Amino acid sequence: MTAAMFRAMWLNLLNDRGALIMAFVMPVLFFLVMAEIFSSASGSQMQIRVAFVDEVKDDLSIRLLDALKTSDSIEVINTEGFGREQLTDLVVRGTADVGLLVRAEGRRLDDAGGFGPSPLVLINDPSRGVTVQMLSGQIQQAYFSALPDVALGSVANVLEDQFIEFDDEQRADLDEGLSEMGVAASEGQQVGWSVDDIVEPQAVTGPPMATNHVGYYAGAVAFMFLLFSSMSGATSLTEERESGVLDRILAGPGGMVVMVNGKFLFLAAQGCVQMLLIFMTAWVVYGVDLPGHWQLWSLITLIASMAAAGLALLVAAICRTPAQARNMANITVILLSVIGGSMVPRFFMPPWLRELGWFTPNTWVLEAYSSVFWRNQGLESLLLPCGLLLSLTVVSLLGAQWFSAYRARL
């Protein structure tokens, strides 16, 4: 009879094209959008839109801006004939993320340690403050790689001012060397240096970072939709109570346990299919290594689907009417997803909110998937998250059965 309830849920879904699309197509589309956003935001593809205005137009400023304009991380906004007011306007209107002004009243670019206004101004919108940090990094990079003679000359000037006085011969050799370096840099030769020369990034494990983020988002989006569709399916508990279907079922030999268990099995199975579709998309489109982790993935997915199904049934069983159940379901899913890291990665959150995340199933599901896909860890790393999720499943399912029976007796 549990199978009969499963069958009722399955036929209901199969006959309702809208529900089918919501259950299996929408999550994949949503995942693709989120993955595209976050894989580019965390990888090398991220670009900021920069508008440049050069009021100086000397050899140094032209070399610096030319170097910046060739960067893959910068999308250049056309500022032909623009002054500083139009530059500011571009930022205010959001056409540019940040504006770079080489101002006329500033010091020269080769007078880094001198007095007076700085030569470069970054005009920015505080709501996009991170773009200032990103452009500053790009300027440092360009300063050392495209203007190595200026950078080195500035260092020499500081040395001479504070530590050592060059004699005329030394000074002449230095000037000649810097001049040759400047010419070579202008011709595009690699004579400069950058922080990259002293830094070697090393990922802890696994594939490139962008793919890791897709793996994270596959789990995050999948579990959020799992909660949504489970809650939606579980609402049928209250609908059937109201329509009288429950009266029929309770009159039968199965009773309430059969009804709740049948729904639980169906929702868990539906959740596994949803997870599979999203992770297969992540594998095919973004190269997330699903085949390499299929066994642990299957374990996490099964337990996560059961936890979502149990929780959804508990929420529905507590509510008195379908409308109440729908509202409660939406609020619950959004709250859990926001706090648990399904919408925004938890490392972006303030510490107290990050701690609160441990009270949501989303966090434990993401922790489990991250252990496997991000950190390449084994079964032992899943004991805690999967144990907690299983406990949630058992408690929720028992609670759903108790509340359903209680409501039916009223």
Partner 1 sequence: MSGAAADTPVLKVMGAHRAFAARQALQDVSLSASSGEIIALLGPNGAGKTTLMRAVAGRLKLDAGTVSVVGLDPYIDSTARAKLGIVPQTIALYPALTARQNLDVFARLAGLRGAAIADAINLALDRAQLTERAEESLGSLSGGMQRRLNIVVGTLQNPLVLLLDEPTVGVDLDARQTIHALLHDLRNTGMSILMSTHDFEQATTIADRVAFMANGRLLAEGPVASLVRQVFGDSKEGVVAFNASVGQKAGRILSDFGLRATSDERLWSGPVTGGYQALDALEKELKEAGVHVAEIRLRDPGLDGVFMHLTEHAS
Residues that bind partner 1 (CB under 8 A): 1, 3-5, 7-8, 11-12, 15-16, 242-245, 247-255, 258, 408-409
Task: Report in angstroms how near the CB of residue 237 gets to partner 1 at its nearest.
Answer: 14
Q: Residue 253 or residue 350: which is nearer to partner 1 going by CB?
A: 253
- DSSP characters for 322-344? HHHHHHHHHHHHHHHHHHHTSSS
Those residues whose C-beta lies under 8 Å from the C-beta of residue 346, and which sit 6 or more positions away, are 340, 353, 354, 357, 363, 366
Task: Report in angstroms how near the CB of residue 12 gets to partner 1 at its nearest.
Answer: 5
Task: Report in angstroms how near the CB of residue 328 gets to partner 1 at its nearest.
Answer: 23
Task: Report in angstroms how near the CB of residue 247 gets to partner 1 at its nearest.
Answer: 5
The span from the CA of 52 to the CA of 75, in Å, is 11
Q: Residue 6 or residue 286: which is nearer to partner 1 going by CB?
A: 6
Task: Report in angstroms how near the CB of residue 219 gets to partner 1 at its nearest.
Answer: 31
Task: Report in angstroms how near the CB of residue 243 gets to partner 1 at its nearest.
Answer: 5
Q: Residue 254 or residue 292: which is nearer to partner 1 going by CB?
A: 254
Torsion of the alpha carbons at 266, 267, 268 and 270, rounded to the nearest 10: 90
Helix 236-243 with 322-340: angle, nearest 10 deg: 170
Q: Residue 5 or residue 268: which is nearer to partner 1 going by CB?
A: 5
Task: Report in angstroms how near the CB of residue 256 gets to partner 1 at its nearest.
Answer: 11
Q: Residue 62 or residue 405: which is nearer to partner 1 going by CB?
A: 405
Q: Residue 51 or residue 249: which is nearer to partner 1 going by CB?
A: 249
- Tell me the β-bridge partners of 54: 102
Q: Residue 264 or residue 364: which is nearer to partner 1 going by CB?
A: 264
The span from the CA of 161 to the CA of 114, in Å, is 11
Q: Residue 161 or residue 242: which is nearer to partner 1 going by CB?
A: 242
Q: Residue 245 or residue 349: which is nearer to partner 1 going by CB?
A: 245
Task: Report in angstroms how near the CB of residue 233 gets to partner 1 at its nearest.
Answer: 13
The span from the CA of 121 to the CA of 165, in Å, is 33
The span from the CA of 149 to the CA of 143, in Å, is 9
DSSP E strand boundaries for 48-202? 48-54, 74-77, 98-102, 120-124
Task: Report in angstroms how near the CB of residue 23 gets to partner 1 at its nearest.
Answer: 13
Those residues whose C-beta lies under 8 Å from the C-beta of residue 301, and which sit 6 or more positions away, are 271, 272, 275, 276, 279
The span from the CA of 68 to the CA of 52, in Å, is 10
**Residue holding tokens 């991170």?**
130
SS3 138: helix
Question: Phi and psi of 48, rounded to 5°?
Answer: -110, 145
CB 43 within 8 A of CB 73: no
- Tell me the β-bridge partners of 39: none
